[in-house]
Amino acid sequence: MSGTEDKLRKIAKPAPEGGWKDRVKFRNENKGWLKKSSAIALRVLETLDTLGWSQARLARELGVSRQMVSKIVKGQEKFNIETITNLEEALGIQLITILMSDEEVVKKAKIKYINETFYGENKFLKEMQQSEFNQEVKEQTPDLA
Question: Mind listing the pLDDT tens digit for each residue in 33-58?
Answer: 889 999 999 999 999 999 999 999 99
Where do the domains of the chain lie?
3-91, 108-140
pTM: 0.59
CA proximity to 46, closest of 93, 86, 96, 81 = 93
The Cα 33–Cα 37 span in angstroms is 6
Q: Which of 97, 47, 92 is nearest to 72 (CA)?
A: 47
CATH number of 3-91: 1.10.260.40
Q: What is the pLDDT of residues 77-104, one digit of tens each?
A: 888 999 999 999 999 999 988 878 888 8
Q: Report the candidate in 23, 16, 87, 76 with the shortest Cα–Cα distance to residue 51.
A: 87
